[in-house]
Amino acid sequence: MVNNNIDHHNFNFKFGYKLIKLNKEIIERILIIKLRGIGDVVHSTIVIDNLKKDFPNAHIDYLVDPQSQPGLDGLKNINRVLIFDRKNFWKRILLILKIRRIKYDVIFDFFSNPSTALITFLSGSKFRVGYPYRGRKYAYNLFGPADRGKFHSAQLHLETLKSIGLTYSCKNLYYNINDAAKRFANEYFEKTFLKNDFVVGICPTGGWESKKCAPEKFAEIASGVIQKYNARILILWGKSDENDATMIHSLLGAKSVLAPVTSIQELSALISKCNLLIANDSGPMHIATALETPVLGLFGPTNPINHGPYGEKNDFIQLTELDCITCNLLICPKNHECFNNLPINLILNKIDNLISINNIKRLFEEN
């Protein structure tokens, strides 16, 4: 809900000895900085609709790592996407010069690491929004919450808008799929599945080894889904997951379909066609939430309260009773109990709930 006590044309903020006045009517160019994972960038798109309400005539640009560019290209409210090159020092210098030439009125540094803080500071922008982390406060004159651990990653962006007096009521996430990828997915589904098939995607992708549910467990989960819902299983995978995906397919046999090699755009388009997705904490899981494909996230070492699938129509499962849960370790020092001990009946109950709250037509009962 928008704070009705705020004057939505002019805001005054006092930080230290500076009085910052943000006049919305003069804002024409906005830059959003969000580096690292695709899922992190998806979460940042929650600000787009809110910014367009406050600054309807402004151009909104993004600065991201290369892997996040495809999901932003083509979004109707994004003007251009700038790329951050971590390996080339001179390209980063040229990037700073380019940002200075564009003359952004407002920069939202939603990443706020030392590199992006320096870029923001050198940008020449009058209004610089970031987080008050140690050693980086110098770069900003408007601040989001100091304790980011209190909020879901997507919600943190809204809290930042709220803290500086901007609209924060819209909660839509975005990920763009280009036309070629849509055609690919449509053609693939037409030749692979029947019209009334209940297609459940499973995705073994995970950024760390400890975030990845074992192929044997994924196959067990998929078998339970097949038995209860007469579902068709589509195994979705990226380059680093080929061995896991192939093993899952070999364990399930004809009960599953192994997706072909895809680009991130094609993978996303396949996700958009599924009735439901079961996935580890990963980029594809967050892409699914933006594409409005209901998601059940499998969580072990990471915290679903902060990083789970966003939105009321998605869910997660985690064995919170384990003393090692949410360890954040890259490699499990135990036996991966957080995934291997997940009860199939609890997973199926979660899926029942997702089917209900998303009003998914129970096609499997008609077959």
Q: Answer yes or no: is pLDDT of 263 > 50.
A: yes
pLDDT tens-digit readout, 65-124? 999 999 999 999 999 999 999 889 999 999 999 999 999 999 999 999 999 999 999 999
Average pLDDT score, the chain: 92
Global pTM reads 0.91
- Residue whose tokens read 């090699």: 261
What is the third-level CATH fold of 179-365? Rossmann fold (3.40.50)
**pLDDT score recorded for residue 308:** 96
pLDDT tens-digit readout, 127-139? 999 999 999 999 9
* Torsion over CA: 96, 98, 103, 104 (sign): negative
Mean pLDDT value across residues 321-339: 93
Q: Kindly indicate the confidence band of residue 25, based on its pLDDT and cuts at 50, 70 and 90.
A: confident
CATH number of 10-163: 3.40.50.2000
**pLDDT score recorded for residue 148:** 80
Domain ranges of the chain: 10-163, 179-365
Residue 195 CA to residue 198 CA, distance in Å, equals 9
Strand arrangement, sheet containing 29-33: 80-83, 59-64, 29-33, 106-109, 127-130, 142-143
Q: Kindly indicate the confidence band of residue 20, based on its pLDDT and cuts at 50, 70 and 90.
A: low
**pLDDT score recorded for residue 244:** 96
